[in-house]
Amino acid sequence: MELEKRNMGVNIVDLEKDISDTKQVLELMKAQIAMLGEQIPLIETEEQKPEEFPDYNEKKVLVTGGAGAIGTNLSKRLAELGAKVTILDNLSSAYEWNIPVHKNIKFVKGDILNDEDLKRVFKEKPDYVFHLAAHFANQNSVDSPETDLMINGIGILKVLQYANLVKVKRFVYSSSGCGVYGLDSKMPFEEHDISIKLHTPYQVTKLLGELYTNYFYNLYNLPIVNARFFNVFGPGEVPGKYRNVIPNFFYWAMNGKSLPITGTGEETRDWTYVEDIVDGLLTMGLEEKAIGESINLGSGKEHKVIDMAAEVNRLTTNNAGMKQVGERDWDVKKRLCSSIEKARRILGYEPKTTFEEGLKKVHDWFMENKHNINKNAEF
């Protein structure tokens, strides 16, 4: 028995020595790892960052007028966020080639004045509605005031009725900061300082749209937000007779024509890049404090028309210069500039793209889509 203990004792001693050696090795490795960790900082990867706007994931979103410049950029972003997007557009001033191709985007060619088309898209019971469909814009409304009233008046009323019927989580309306503020409004334009001294049917019906959204909010508790856009520009807007000045200037400059300046060129506008607008819209769809509010979405900065024209000519290497043409009767605002303090306070909104960067991106888009643009531009 004693011999057995002695034999076992030898084995136990050897085992204890092995364990002790192993512990020492482990302690040394731990110390080396700790030192290594101090020398090499951890690198954040994209996967470690919190997902942007996660609440849109798997939600159903209807974008009326979604084939336009703002709508295509908004729809693309929503689809990338995991939302199931339905675009409703009659293509009266947009083109199907411009609609993003994405598994999460469904395009329905239809009209907001047609009940069958509205029933089709609202049958899906969207969680969010971004109402961008409109008769655009000032000169078009002067030429066709009855059409303007039908689309911007009856059209939004119909969409609101269906949105209220299915109880959407949020209804975001694209109003116009260039429309609801008048000559008697003080600059920079603040949300409370709207005007009824307006100069085009478009301005009248954009304000009418806000009155209708407010009515549905006050009577039916429909969660609405009015987004007042200022001079939106960016990729996706095809030039044409009734389109904005920036795409038209790029089109003419790329075709070697002089750029028409209506006025002195010293007039200013608050041009706002479309991706900044999209950021504001997405936040409006989720932020509870935005419900029932009208909020400016602008850059908060003024830029002269003549400076914009010079930059377009520089980017396109257009040597034809500029020419002065007659002023338009309705174009009476010499300066435009938004106050975005309310947007900052409620939405955390902050424009990220400079005016020059935005113009460069528009030029890049024109170069990439030159064939389709030349085919579809109508003047």
Return the pLDDT at 346: 98
User: What pTM did the predictor assign?
Assistant: 0.87
- In a domain, residue 234? The reply is yes
Query: The CATH number of the domain where 59 resides is what?
Result: 3.40.50.720
Return the pLDDT at 52: 87
- In a domain, residue 40? The reply is no
- In a domain, residue 10? The reply is no
Structure-block tokens of residue 347? 């939405």
Helix (H) or strand (E) holding 226: strand 224-229
Residue 85: strand pairing partners: 61, 105
- In a domain, residue 9? The reply is no
- Structural domain that includes position 99: 55-376
Tens of pLDDT along the chain (379 residues) come to 444 444 444 454 554 555 456 556 556 655 554 554 444 343 333 333 346 899 999 999 999 999 999 999 999 999 999 999 999 999 999 999 999 999 999 999 999 999 999 999 999 999 999 999 999 999 999 999 999 999 999 999 999 999 999 999 999 999 999 999 999 999 999 999 999 999 999 999 999 999 999 999 999 999 999 999 999 999 999 999 999 999 999 999 999 999 999 999 999 999 999 999 999 999 999 999 999 999 999 999 999 999 999 999 999 999 999 999 989 999 999 999 999 999 999 999 999 999 999 999 999 999 999 999 999 999 9
- In a domain, residue 50? The reply is no
The total number of structural domains in the chain stands at 1
- Measured distance CA(207)–CA(177) in Å, rounded: 10
Looking up tokens 């693309």 gives 76
- Measured distance CA(26)–CA(79) in Å, rounded: 50
- In a domain, residue 15? The reply is no
Cβ neighbours of residue 216 closer than 8 Å, sequence gap 6 or more: 160, 163, 164, 171, 222, 224
- In a domain, residue 12? The reply is no
Looking up tokens 């947007």 gives 343
- In a domain, residue 215? The reply is yes
